[in-house]
């Protein structure tokens, strides 16, 4: 990859760019479906100033000596792409009509592919070409102000293309969309230019480019915003792992994980610098509006199996991780038939070693089949019993089988701060935070099962965005 940066004192940037890698970041890790392949190109420009000449005019600057566009040769991941997302942070000093944000676009024959630029003061224009010679221009509705405000504040602009629509996003939120007749982006053999396009520079600063060969979904773009340090107070990515039984030789069951695999996973977390959070700690972070520490992970265990105590604990303890137990109070009571589960003294022993204890109901029934009265009793009694037996205030409830509906999830929010339901689809509620009735879909508990490969496990961690992964066959129990 070669870069030409026509601005003095930017040698360091050249070095930065030279270490850019064109990454199929998660693609190789997603073993089950090629539809999840996410080609990805990332540039962190350290607040690169594109152009701010003192006497800048609004005209395009052809061959300007002040030209400071960033040029990236051989960006081919969008060649013939039928889906794409361009994501960039920008800060504008002074508005310039048609100032390019990113593009592979010149007026010469076979040099048109795509261009994102700022137009009409605070709108966006996206030009796409499928043949390299004609560009189809799409412009966001001016009253929606999808472009950069001239306020010198960092703004995240994202544009996605899916062969049918162009969607404009501002600061992680959908702003507008246009249908397009372009089905595929032309493979123009010119470089990608950043902070520049079709001969016009942006008048401002740019940073953190991400280019995807995929039309990211709304919630993914929202997370790009939230996870960026410029993106405000919404915290960082947080992966929540759900385990059940850790066995020497598990069967092919969704709640079994072989000890050797579990060890490998925890070793990987430790080696990669992930820091453990408990559910209670996470709850405090939310309550106090604090930031989630970078590279945090929550390890949870459902049902309170004895193998957690006997097998999982020593391994976690070896790496100084503590986890969270979601306990079924009837199981822990140790009445006949529940000998495979931890008893209260074992749960308490883990609690004394720093583990968190939360509720997974009284009797592990499918709660949506219960009357509201019976259901409320499960919520209330399990909380009371945990207080009596362990002196813990459970503030989180995991639904057995992850089975809930909107109404029961909201009722749960009367008793608990966090109510975890299911997480297979972004459209399904993941949890409800107490008294807000807000459904958060991005924070998911990911079930680790017998069939979870290490590569798949790795792909779940520290993600930039929530890529829904098919083939996670394991259920949520």
Where do contacts with Zn ion occur on this chain (CB under 5 A)?
Answer: 302-303, 400, 477
> Both tokens of residue 140?
């966001």
Element (H, E) at 241: strand 238-243
Count CB-CB contacts under 10 A for residue 255: 22
Classify the C-alpha dihedral 458-424-30-258 as positive or negative: positive
Q: Quick one: 262 or 326, whose CB is closer to Zn ion?
A: 326
End-to-end CA distance of the chain: 48
Element (H, E) at 175: strand 173-179
- Cβ(214)–Cβ(451) under 8 Å? no
Question: What CA–CA distance (Å, rounded) separates 174 from 154?
Answer: 17
Q: At 223, is the secondary structure helix, strand, or coil?
A: helix
Q: Quick one: 118 or 359, whose CB is closer to Zn ion?
A: 359
Q: DSSP per residue over 376-416, as a string? A: HHHHHHHHHHHHHHH-----EEE-GGG---HHHHHHHHHH-
Q: Quick one: 227 or 255, whose CB is closer to Zn ion?
A: 255
Q: Quick one: 196 or 326, whose CB is closer to Zn ion?
A: 326
Q: Quick one: 212 or 341, whose CB is closer to Zn ion?
A: 341
CB of 303 to Zn ion, least distance (A): 4
CB of 331 to Zn ion, least distance (A): 9
CB of 386 to Zn ion, least distance (A): 15
Q: Quick one: 250 or 400, whose CB is closer to Zn ion?
A: 400
Question: What CA–CA distance (Å, rounded) separates 463 from 477?
Answer: 24
CB of 254 to Zn ion, least distance (A): 11
Classify the C-alpha dihedral 234-235-237-242 as positive or negative: negative
Question: What CA–CA distance (Å, rounded) separates 356 from 383?
Answer: 14
Q: Quick one: 106 or 302, whose CB is closer to Zn ion?
A: 302
- Cβ(3)–Cβ(75) under 8 Å? no
Instruction: Give the residue at shortest CB distance from Zn ion.
Output: 302
Q: Quick one: 17 or 450, whose CB is closer to Zn ion?
A: 450
Give every CB contact of residue 381 below 8 A, 6+ residues apart in sequence. 329, 362
CB of 304 to Zn ion, least distance (A): 9
Q: Quick one: 193 or 477, whose CB is closer to Zn ion?
A: 477
CB of 342 to Zn ion, least distance (A): 14
Q: Could you tell me how far CA 109 lies from the centroid of its own chain?
A: 39
CB of 302 to Zn ion, least distance (A): 4
CB of 445 to Zn ion, least distance (A): 11
- Element counts in the chain: helices (H) and strands (E): 11, 29
> Both tokens of residue 363?
């009797």
CB of 400 to Zn ion, least distance (A): 5
């Amino acid at each position: 990859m070669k870069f030409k940066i026509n601005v003095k004192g930017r040698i360091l940037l050249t070095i930065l760019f030279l270490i850019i890698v064109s990454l199929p970041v998660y693609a190789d890790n997603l073993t089950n479906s090629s539809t999840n392949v996410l080609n990805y190109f990332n540039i962190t420009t350290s607040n690169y100033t594109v152009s701010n000449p003192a006497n800048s005019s609004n005209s395009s600057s052809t061959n300007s000596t002040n030209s400071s566009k960033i040029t990236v040769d051989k960006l081919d991941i969008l060649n013939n792409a039928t889906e794409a997302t361009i994501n960039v942070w920008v800060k504008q000093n002074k508005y310039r009509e048609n100032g390019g944000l990113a593009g592979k676009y010149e007026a010469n024959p076979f040099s048109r592919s795509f261009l994102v630029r700022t137009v009409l003061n605070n709108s966006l224009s996206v030009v796409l070409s499928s043949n390299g010679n004609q560009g189809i221009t799409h412009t966001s509705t001016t009253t929606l102000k999808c472009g950069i405000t001239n306020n010198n504040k960092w703004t995240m602009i994202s544009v996605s293309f899916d062969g049918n629509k162009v969607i404009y996003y501002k600061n992680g939120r959908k702003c507008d969309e246009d249908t397009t007749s372009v089905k595929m982006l032309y493979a123009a053999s010119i470089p990608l230019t950043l902070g520049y396009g079709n001969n016009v520079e942006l008048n401002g600063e740019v940073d953190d480019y991400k280019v995807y060969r995929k039309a990211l979904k709304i919630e993914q773009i929202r997370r790009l915003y939230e996870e960026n340090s410029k993106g405000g107070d919404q915290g960082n990515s947080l992966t929540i792992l759900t385990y059940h039984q850790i066995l020497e030789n598990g069967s092919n069951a969704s709640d079994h994980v072989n000890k050797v695999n579990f060890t490998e996973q925890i070793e990987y977390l430790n080696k990669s610098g992930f820091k453990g959070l408990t559910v209670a700690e996470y709850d405090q972070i939310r309550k106090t509006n604090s930031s989630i520490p970078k590279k945090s992970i929550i390890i949870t265990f459902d049902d309170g199996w004895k193998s957690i105590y006997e097998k999982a604990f020593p391994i976690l303890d070896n790496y100084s991780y503590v986890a969270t137990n979601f306990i079924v109070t009837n199981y822990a009571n140790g009445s006949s038939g529940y000998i495979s589960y931890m008893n209260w003294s074992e749960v308490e022993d883990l609690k004394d070693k720093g583990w968190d204890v939360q509720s997974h109901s009284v009797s592990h029934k499918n709660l949506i089949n219960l009357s509201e009265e019976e259901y409320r009793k499960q919520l209330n009694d399990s909380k009371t019993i945990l207080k009596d037996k362990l002196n813990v205030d459970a503030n989180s409830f995991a639904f057995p089988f992850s089975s809930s509906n909107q109404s029961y999830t909201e009722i749960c929010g009367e008793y608990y701060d966090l109510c975890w339901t299911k997480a297979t689809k972004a459209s399904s509620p993941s949890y409800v935070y107490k008294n807000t009735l807000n459904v958060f879909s991005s924070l998911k508990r990911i079930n680790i099962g017998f069939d979870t490969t290490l590569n798949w496990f790795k792909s779940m961690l520290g993600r930039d965005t929530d890529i829904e992964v098919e083939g996670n066959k394991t259920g949520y129990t």
